[in-house]
Structure 1
């Protein structure tokens, strides 16, 4: 009864505040008429071309006809799924200044607390100085320090990472006051000092100049100490860790076999003099025979540890290289959580992944500008965007698998709502008892109690003491704690996919929650992107592997008719999870024209046929629209072309191999492996390779094979033309010849790799394997002749 009355009181207070104060965010809806007009044109052209295909079967080459028609049907289906996200655009504008006014003074006590989780796994692939900068940017964020806690998840249990954090906290005690005193906006030191900030308008202030130079010198000293520890692996832990170093994994040992390590590096006492929040280091227990579920497992441990220590109703998760670029990032998120009409409308708030280390014209297609400027806005017009793994604020209640409250009563008479609320909570009380929650959340009574508090929305920012709960935290961080619980199945981050983020977001949406994509003018978070060819492809392979695993799991978007998720939201998830199947269609369509040239057959209309105009118009409209869309958002023609060719390379390389890996997993031949993507050197001046680089990875075999086949076809077609059979070439093989040339142009980095040496050249092992595979496939086409 008390919890019902408290919930009712909180809701009524929220309604009164909303009435007397301007809204904290604004929803802007756009119906893009030009997009819809193009969609109609493209749909008509696609139907016309498919109609031509149906009415013109190739009796002498029915296998080619069937394959071509199947690929074209799939392309049309994938286009429908994509344009489902372009039909309606929704933007959100937040007002953090109104937030500051509403919750200033005594009202600041009503602010909900936030648990911030930073994840890292390897101090060498993810340099410790990068993690240090992310932690510093979090500690200096513009939010009451008594209202948030910073947790660092070190999945490598590295003494280097722990040492760097202790040194970082020493520097933070000067860095945080410096940022607040001079209103510094860029609060990651490496980025701030790289901008030559001493030259801005405050340069006439001698106090500022002196402190600026002192801070820069101290940061350089911090950087040298951390880098020295990383290079020598000689960490003076005895001087910083009084209770020993038991549990840490050493570089020479197996990092999958170590005890739990939880250390409260800094504890906020609640006094005004405290300038830092709680800072807690966590390295979960790992054992060789216990599945640790990669990042999803680490995040679930962090959810449990933070649950028994601070149990904030909201969680922000960040990758170690995604620093806070907007000091009011929490305020932007809270504008939604605290001002939405119904809690159902805001299960999580996703911020875009933007990169500071960007190369001109985006040669590797990392910036994802179309996704951020178009598709994400379209997702806002559905049930909300996908969860993208970092830069996301979660409602803990949604992560715990609870459905939204009975929001249908929010706009009704208060007395009627009060009566219905009693019934609703009485019905739910049995399922939220401590006994029932223990069977779901595990044997920890403290965790069950904190989960009960979260489910009933009764907690409101009481500061706790992490050091007093370490024993309970060690218990919930053990590797066998999840046995016979709902963690990873119904609660927390979902298991079964290498993209636990998308899978978890889908689970939250299935419960009936909505999500929001927030894009403030000042980017909230900035990170690093892979800076060369191999790293980009490895990252994409991991993503597509996980996405296809989701489609083939019980969380397939097309299954579960009783899920509280709209049809168009299912289509949105299907678009992403079916990238692997798209790669198969792309691969066959990239070699079909070459096979036809080599065998003297045709599957595309000749120049003299009326259907040729349909094919040309469709081709020009597809690429013309994509170019227009890129120019519309401020991109360049060169940038559009880089993204266009990288999309084909991705389909022929990581997407295709990811599909093969998932197939092998389904057959029980192998298992998927999570690979950590290197985050660079940690040097702000290191901008990576501008040119495409190669290694001996199998990722480069499919594109090289496709290149060899199309080069052979171009030579064959050119011989036909030079031999004087230009009538056959023009009426029967011109379209196939053009398509082969187009494929080669898109694979131009691989063409250059054929003649280059070193890391910019394709290794001989890849060339030999690709040549053998190309000869095998070309032999199949010759047998068809």
Structure 2
């Protein structure tokens, strides 16, 4: 019988096996709810071992296979387990086949060479194939016995199982069913042709067909899952053996990874890479032609264009090659639950601290922050494992009181969310959904309770609005609390640290009597004369206070306007951070940003789809995505500045970097590096060992006496983390939790101490620990430092977006936001942490470094971009061009370059799934931002770094849209950022008028060159079209600025008309009687 001859099945109604010739890939079958006593190949009983335990053929996955099928697969089949594809090992009592490993320690000579007789044994082998328990095997512990499941090829009722003396000899046991036939009798095998009527075989009934089809569908589904690329780790070992199928299924699932990499299909990725290489070659020939063929009568224009094109080529390289290895990822929440969160058992999930940051409640409405907090408190995670910290860096009493109201409303909202499993769990956005909210809801009380909850939320909104209205009028003597004491934060620049625990172990329970996650208000101390480092300083204060109070092993930070759209977002991150293969070397899991309230056509590219769905997926295949400032779950140990636990493969040096930069040399800092390496535990071979050990402090320094050595070691730790014994002890708790030696009565006092304004003095906070200082975009610096140490990050993009937030849809607000990002990049470019020269002794991969370089140099592109956008106008006005007359050979490179650019974009959209509209909006805003915000950022950054002129940090307004749909989109707010792109628009329009006028005056022979110049100018205007619409505002309004520009344009056109005088004859000397200014 050939291995590919068909499907072998058995019927419990007939004493026979059937083999169906059916060409199918027949993938492996999921083990879930599988009957462990039934062979999944022939349907017979799997058989027992000599000790009475269930026969197990595969020690890796325990896929149910009987002895005859096991022997057949090893002798004439694939020699592999049908489920996990692992090669079968020879079991005791079974013959040896070709390819088996040598087993010197196994004393089984009488059975090891039973196949040596060859064909003489065939009748016996067929009899063995028909039996379910003819051979002995090496004793294997009984894992479980299965139960029949609908959709499977079932076996007789196994309830009447008794233990008897079996046919294998005295003293051996065999579990049999009273409804089974004598296993010693051979079972005939029939060949079934599926093209014939199966009724003739007794197999044509509907029930049998449904079972077989269900069996094949499960095999195909499991094969699709197995074709993905799994990471190397097995993900744990089976601890003990169970006595039922469910326990074995859980044990088997703990061996499977909790996530997998879904590679981009080669049919999408290979053409994309080929075109990139071709485009690079074509670009080289194009630049060679441009630099060797100057335009002599327009040399300044030609030189400017060539410099711009060279920079654009360099910028394209920085942007393109980090997208060389794009990947997708998929998580398995069910495997996470089986491994760490089994029902009926204490949860083993790791504690998580969630950070929410806010500054100004007038720009960041309290209702928006409240919805974010409510979505965190209702997250699908054990309540004792979640703590929510709200950082109020503005020390506003409005934020404090609104958080108090939020805590009271959470007692009603959280049980409602968990009872009915609603999504999203931010009430404002849940009740705004225009969907069928009754879909999949089966509880009769849902409609009534939903209406009551909506009314409760509306009353909650009224209370918050009343607080906001009250806060508009600040009393002269300042705010006072309910007990009459002055509010400590009346002076926002000079106030003590404040902490208030609203919910938690000591707080109230919800309406169902269940505990709620902790909700803690934090406002760090501020005093004149101390640097506070804005958001980065506030986040570092949260790291310390959370370590003292709850000490979650992982930290998740979100902006105050980014609510949990997916209640399982934390579990999605835990699929990576708690994975044995990833967790020790993953510094953070970054989620994409998704937004609500954006206009349909996304005029100003607020969704940033190209960045999140193309760039970050590309980086995920290298060393991981960059940190984008929100929606990120951190490994706390990575924020403490420690190195990851790397494998031997990870420790191999980068060949390219080593050849370019040389190997690491020992110098004067080698001793210090060796000590830091020892203290961080980087040289550990055991990945399960804790990252820290108190012995590292107790060991001290060599060469000194014990007391002095310990004192110096303790001082070095205090110099790193600050003078807080409680916090330092918490850093040694790798799995989180408060150190057992900590006195709970002193925690609050210690928490106030670690958020004091002078705590970070003479420490490494902001330099090597926590959020890194030195830029308004602290997220880039923080992620860069982690990657430079060798950490990897992961991009998690679940089907349901994890977080959603608001984005500025107003043109001026959007440009100010882009200005802040670009200014932060310039600050990093001019700092010691610049990726161009920093971190070459670390383990930052080359393509990851290119991505970071592109992240900090992109604002400089504004200079060549604005010059290149003005060139068309100058060409039209002066009747010159940046390209000389080209030959047919030279024109080929121009055509090929344009084609390669178009094909690269098309193939990129193909593998990423980004729409062409999103891609075009991104291209448009690249020009808009480049000619406005990026240009200002370059000059402001130079002034700040070189001249010390600081710029104010502007908080992006997150006000709700109360004046109608997208009212903010049409509001015109004048800012200096609008001047450069408006000038580019006007100059190109003037150039078009001048060019057309000159062509009319010169005759039709000049229309050919004019078309190239006009296309160049119109291409610039097309990119600035959204900006032009933003200037005009609503169609029924005419802003004053438009009137001013119209008058200005009319004046310019009049002066230009007089200067050009297009209707004068071209050769006035040839017609002396011509009238100046006429057409005759």
How far apart, CA to CA, are the structure 1 residues paired with 2:546 and 2:811? 38
How many Å separate the matches in 2 of 1:756 and 1:330? 41
Which residue of the other structure, out of 1010, 1013, 1031, is the alignment partner of 1:736?
1013
Q: Does 1:543 align with 2:808?
A: no
Counterpart position of 1:681: 960
Output the CA distance in 2 between the equivalents of 1:467 and 1:319.
32
CA contact (8 A) 2:431 2:454 kept: yes
The structure 1 residue matched to 2:790, chosen from 486, 491, 512, is: 512
Q: Distance in 1 between matches of 2:534 and 2:409?
A: 31
CA distance, structure 2, for counterparts of residue 12 and residue 92 of structure 1: 17
* Correspondence for 1:54: 291
Greater displacement, 150-159 / 603-612: 603-612
User: What is the rounded CA distance, in whole Å, between the counterparts of 1:517 and 1:180 in structure 2?
Assistant: 27
What TM-score, normalized to structure 1?
Answer: 0.88
8 Å CA contact 1:322, 1:526 repeated in 2: yes
User: Are 2:386 and 2:517, in contact at CA under 8 Å, matched by a contact in 1?
Assistant: yes
Q: Deviations over 1:253-304 (max 9, x none)?
A: x533332221111232599954211111011122343222111111011111
For 1:268, which of 488, 492, 505 is the aligned residue?
505
Q: Residues 766 and 556 of structure 1: is their aligned pair in 2 closer, same or farther, counting only changes over 3 Å? A: farther
Alignment of 1:450-529 (within 5 A): 450-451=730-731, 453-454=732-733, 457=734, 459=736, 468-529=746-807
Residues 221-270 of structure 1: CA deviation (Å, up to 9, x unaligned): 11111012112227999998659453223xxxx53333222111123259
For 2:883, the equivalent position in structure 1 comes to 604
Aligned residue in 1 for 2:574: 334
Between the aligned partners of 2:744 and 2:431, the Cα distance in structure 1 is 33
Q: Which moved more, 1:536-545 or 1:42-51?
A: 42-51
Deviation per CA, 1:295-343, whole angstroms, max 9, x where unpaired? 1111011111112111211100010111111111111111111114154
2:1001 aligns with one of 700, 719, 723: 723
Query: Deviation digits for residues 338-366 of structure 1, max 9, x if unmatched?
Result: 11415453111001111122321211101
Report the Cα distance in structure 1 between the residues aligned to 2:802 and 2:234, rounded to whole angstroms.
31
What is the SS of the residue equivalent to 2:257? coil
Distance 2:609 2:973 in 1: 28
Which of residues 850, 855, 863 is equivalent to 1:584? 863
The secondary structure found in structure 1 opposite 2:505 is coil
CA apart distance, 1:207: 1.7
The equivalences for 1:703-722 within 5 A come to: 703-722=981-1000
Rounded to whole Å, the distance in 2 between the matches of 1:497 and 1:42 is 36
**TM-score with structure 2 setting the length:** 0.65
Query: 2:1075 maps to which residue?
Result: none
The answer for the alignment partner of 1:402 in structure 2 is 642
**Is 2:441 the counterpart of 1:162?**
no
CA contact (8 A) 1:403 1:513 kept: yes
- Once residues 753 and 760 of structure 1 are traced to their aligned partners in structure 2, the CA distance between those partners, rounded to angstroms, is 12
- Which aligned pairs between 1:252-267 and structure 2 lie closer than 5 A? 255-267=492-504
Q: Distance in 2 between matches of 1:499 and 1:15?
A: 43
Contact 1:550–1:577 (8 Å) recurs in 2: yes
What CA distance in whole angstroms lies between the structure 2 residues aligned with 1:666 and 1:498? Answer: 13
Counterpart CA distance in 1 for 2:738 and 2:348 is: 8
Aligned pairs for 1:562-641 (under 5 A) are 562-606=841-885, 610-623=889-902, 625-626=904-905, 629-630=908-909, 637-641=916-920
**Inter-CA distance 217–669: structure 2 relative to 1 (3 Å threshold):** same
8 A Cα contact 2:331 2:575, kept in partner: yes
| Kept after mapping to 2: 8 A contact 1:604/1:736 | no
Bigger helix fraction:
1
- Structure 1, 536-545 or 102-111: larger mean CA deviation: 102-111
* Alpha-carbon distance, 1:694 to partner: 3.6
1:473 shift after superposition: 1.5
Contact 1:531 1:687 in 2 (8 A): no
CA contact (8 A) 1:627 1:640 kept: no
Match of 2:1023 in 1: 746
8 Å contact from structure 1 (residues 176, 275) kept in 2? no
Kept in 2, the 8 Å contact 1:434–1:449? The answer is no
Structure-2 change in CA distance of 1:519 and 1:213 (3 Å): same
After superposition, the C-alpha distances for 1:576-601 in whole angstroms (9 at most, x for unaligned) are 11111111121111112222332332
Alignment of structure 1 residues 85-124 onto 2, 5 Å: 85-103=322-340, 104-105=342-343, 108-124=346-362
Shift of residue 107, structure 1, vs aligned partner: 5.7
For residue 42 of structure 1, the aligned residue among 279, 287, 308 is: 279
Contact 1:155 1:298 in 2 (8 A): yes
Which moves more between the two structures, 531-540 or 422-431?
A: 422-431
- Unaligned 5+ runs, structure 1: 1-10
Secondary structure in structure 1 of the residue aligned to 2:303:
helix
- Give me the whole-angstrom Cα distance separating, in 1, the residues matched to 2:792 and 2:772: 18
How far apart are the structure 2 equivalents of 1:726 and 1:581? Answer: 41
Q: 1:178 and 2:416 equivalent? A: yes
- C-alpha displacement at 1:146, in angstroms? 0.8
Residues 695 and 762 of structure 1 are in contact (CA less than 8 Å); yes or no, is this contact kept in structure 2? Answer: no
Evaluate the alpha carbon distance shift between residue 459 and residue 628 of structure 1 in structure 2; reply closer, same or farther with a 3 A threshold: closer
Query: Distance between the aligned counterparts of 2:1047 and 2:746, measured in 1?
Result: 60
In structure 1, distance between residues paired with 2:435 and 2:1048: 51
Partner of 1:7: none
**Residues 157, 283 of structure 1: 8 Å contact kept:** yes
Contact 1:342 1:410 in 2 (8 A): no
1:84 partner SS: helix
Secondary structure at the counterpart of residue 118 of structure 1 = strand
Q: 1:287 corresponds to which residue?
A: 527
The match for 1:364 among 592, 604, 607 is: 604
| SS, match of residue 729 in structure 2 | helix
- Shift in alpha-carbon separation, 1:174–1:588, aligned structure 2, 3 A: same
1:144 aligns with 2:382: yes
Going from structure 1 to structure 2, the CA distance change for 1:302 and 1:770 (only over 3 Å counts) comes to farther
Distance 1:173 1:479 in 2: 34
| Distance (whole Å) between structure 1 residues aligned to residue 522 and residue 638 of structure 2 | 23
In the TM superposition, residue 421 of structure 1 has moved relative to its aligned partner by: 7.2
Per-residue deviation at 1:403? 0.7
Higher RCO, Cα 8 Å, sep 6+:
1
Q: Is the 8 A contact 2:327 2:617 kept in 1?
A: yes
CA distance in 1: counterparts of 2:691 and 2:754, whole angstroms: 34
Question: Which has the larger Rg?
Answer: 2
Given the alignment of the two structures, is residue 23 of structure 1 paired with residue 264 of structure 2, yes or no?
no
Shift of 1:193: 1.1
Report if aligned partners of 1:111, 1:461 keep a CA contact under 8 Å in 2.
Answer: no
Alignment CA distance shift 1:459-1:231 (3 Å): closer
CA distance 1:241–1:567, shift in 2 (3 Å): farther
Structure 2: distance between partners of 1:762 and 1:366: 27
Asked if 1 retains the 8 angstrom alpha-carbon contact of 2:236 and 2:580, the reply is: no
Residue 447 of structure 1 and its aligned partner are, at CA, apart by: 1.9
> Would you identify which runs of 4 or more consecutive aligned residues in structure 1 move more than 6 Å?
234-240, 419-429, 461-467, 753-760, 768-772
Task: Give 2:717's aligned residue.
Answer: 437
| Structure 2 residues without counterparts, runs of 5 or longer | 1-232, 240-250, 652-683, 702-711, 1061-1080
Mapped contact 1:630–1:636 kept (Cα < 8 A):
yes
